[in-house]
Amino acid sequence: MPRERACTPLPNRKKPASALSLPLFDGIPAGLGDTIEARDAPESIRFIPSTLGISNPSRAYAIRVRGESMLNAGILSGDVVVLEHKEPKVGDIVAALVDGENTLKRLVRQGNRYFLKAENPDYPDIVPIEALSVQGVVVSVLRNMAEAA
């Protein structure tokens, strides 16, 4: 005769967080700077904001990386970086507009001057001649392992 099993009710769980749809843009150079025309995002991706480190979902977006300059920071060509428009800190990896060209690099400060540093010794630092404007701070990196192999 089979033994009776007791069922323990599951604890009350919080309502699941709702997913957020982030715009996914075609690409940002992680190599030498490149001009990218402003346009609508061709795709979007859905996530739960807290799982990606997003503090303000209305200020977040995602972009696919092109290039190898951030290799030693663990960011590969084809990865998707999730960025948030917020105040950058020295050492953050940022999407930036430098003298009219977009790039993804580490923000560095030397004295009173800011510049961008590649995380691959094959690529030069990018020192602005006229202007450096941070467009977003990287909060997460997403990789499709099937494509990475």
| Residue whose tokens read 């061709």 | 42
Would you call 69 a catalytic residue per the annotation?
A: yes
Selected catalytic residue, list 15, 50, 105, 117: 105
| DSSP codes of every residue in 93-123 | EEEEEETTEEEEEEEEEETTEEEEE-SSTTS
Could you give the C-alpha distances from 6 to 9, 57, 59, 91, 145, in angstroms and in order? 10, 43, 48, 54, 42
Selected catalytic residue, list 69, 86, 133, 140: 69
Would you call 105 a catalytic residue per the annotation?
A: yes
Q: What is the DSSP letter of 42?
A: S
- Residues in CB range of 50: below 8 A, 6 or more apart: 17
Residues labelled catalytic: 69, 105
